[in-house]
């Protein structure tokens, strides 16, 4: 009886109900579509405008020449590109090994005192404004050595990268099925060997994505470099290496000279150039912005390709 009554009610309401449903659906679809477009506008606007403004400045010289004095035509930002690479390599060297090892520790011992402290520490560190890292390294390294350097810049960015690396690596390790770990331990493998030869390769794709996030975030940082790397428009790794070889310096001494002097980085150059009142510098700062964007895009593409090929090799 109740079923019949229910059907009756539905039948009576059907026309009105269906119309209201159609109208609501159309309305919501319009709203979500409109807001999606709205959200995409700034994205494409920024990218488009950077390409438009930067594209006019960029040419081959822009990548291969050092800075030239104002008034002289041409010149490039090679110093800045090299500085960025040196700082990022240093930052990765300082951040990735301890970050990954710490993540292994937390993933295996989440409830020990050290594990809890480490987690809490990374969460706090993730929320610290990036300029504080710069100030910290300034006090710790720049003041005692009495000079700015690529080393100090790399350290500041490494601290910035640490929380991202630790947290993503930890999450990725937790995603590895525990049966895989047991399979290895069940064959008699010790814990460290299981971590190294089974867990790490199994989680590697995700871990690499974590590195990328960390790199992409820190490569665009200006604040931590202000009082660590400072800037150096005559920096050129090629010149340092050639000079070093001519005066028969050791490899160690050459590397020392590369990392132990002030350097520029792309966001730092952008920031300095954009502040200047000269139109040619403003144009160059747009060029630098475009180079920076291309950099991030390239890192992203290369890593994605690598991860994809690895995934394909693993899935057969």
Partner 1 sequence: METNIAVTKTVAPSVEAARKMEIRNLSVFYRKFRALAEISVTVLSNKITAIIGPSGCGKSTLLRSFNRMNDLTAGARMDGEILLDGENINTAGVDVVDVRRRVGMVFQRPNPFPKSIYDNVAFGPRLYGIRRRNDLNEIVEKSLRQSALWDEVKDKLHQSGLSLSGGQQQRLCIARALAVEPEVILMDEPASALDPISTLRIEELMHDLVKDYTIIIVTHNMQQAARVSDYTAMMMIDQERAGRMIEFDETNVIFTNPKDKRTEDYVTGRFG
Residues within the interface to partner 1 (CB under 8 A): 177, 179-180, 182-190, 193, 197-198, 201-202, 313-316
User: What's 316's DSSP letter?
Assistant: -
Nearest approach, Cβ of 314 to partner 1 (angstroms)?
A: 5
Nearer CB in complex with partner 1: 123/182: 182
Q: Are 87 and 267 in contact (CB under 8 A)?
A: no
Nearest approach, Cβ of 312 to partner 1 (angstroms)?
A: 9
Nearer CB in complex with partner 1: 190/243: 190
Residue 146 CB coordination number (10 Å): 6
User: What's 71's DSSP letter?
Assistant: T
Nearest approach, Cβ of 166 to partner 1 (angstroms)?
A: 22
Residue 94 structure tokens: 């300082």
Nearer CB in complex with partner 1: 197/234: 197
Residue appearing with tokens 């050129």: 236
Helices (H), 227-278: 237-246, 251-259, 266-275
Query: Residues in the chain, how many?
Result: 316
Q: Are 202 and 240 in contact (CB under 8 A)?
A: no
Nearest approach, Cβ of 33 to partner 1 (angstroms)?
A: 40
Nearer CB in complex with partner 1: 164/184: 184
Nearest approach, Cβ of 107 to partner 1 (angstroms)?
A: 14
Contacts of 143 (CB under 8 A, 6+ apart): none
Residue 92 structure tokens: 């990765």
Angle (deg, nearest 10), helices 150-175 and 113-127: 120
Nearer CB in complex with partner 1: 74/188: 188
């Amino acid at each position: 009886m109740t079923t019949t009554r229910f059907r009756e009610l539905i039948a009576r309401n059907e026309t009105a109900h269906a119309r209201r449903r159609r109208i609501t659906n159309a309305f919501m679809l319009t709203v979500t579509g409109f807001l999606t477009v709205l959200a995409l506008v700034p994205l494409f606007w920024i990218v488009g405008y950077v390409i438009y403004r930067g594209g006019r400045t960029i040419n081959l010289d822009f990548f291969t020449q050092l800075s030239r004095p104002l008034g002289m035509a041409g010149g490039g930002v090679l110093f800045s590109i090299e500085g960025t690479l040196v700082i990022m390599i240093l930052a990765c060297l300082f951040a990735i090994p301890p970050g990954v090892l710490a993540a292994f520790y937390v993933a295996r011992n989440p409830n020990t005192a050290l594990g809890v402290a480490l987690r809490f520490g990374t969460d706090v560190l993730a929320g610290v404004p990036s300029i504080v890292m710069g100030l910290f390294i300034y006090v710790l390294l720049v003041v005692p050595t009495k000079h700015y350097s690529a080393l100090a810049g790399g350290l500041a960015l490494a601290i910035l990268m640490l929380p991202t690396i630790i947290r993503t690596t930890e999450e990725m390790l937790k995603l590895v099925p525990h049966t895989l770990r047991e399979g290895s331990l069940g064959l008699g493998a010790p814990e460290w060997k299981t971590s190294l030869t089974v867990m790490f390769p199994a989680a590697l794709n995700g871990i690499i994505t974590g590195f990328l996030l960390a790199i992409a975030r820190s490569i665009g940082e200006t604040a931590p470099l202000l009082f660590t790397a400072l800037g150096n428009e005559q920096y050129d790794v090629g010149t340092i290496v050639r000079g070093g070889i001519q005066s028969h310096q050791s490899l160690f001494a050459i590397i020392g000279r590369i990392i132990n002097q002030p350097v520029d980085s792309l966001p730092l150059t952008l920031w300095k150039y954009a502040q200047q009142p000269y139109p040619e510098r403003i144009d160059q700062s747009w060029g630098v912005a475009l180079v920076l964007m291309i950099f991030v895009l390239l890192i992203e593409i290369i890593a994605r390709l690598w991860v994809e090929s690895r995934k394909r090799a693993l899935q057969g």
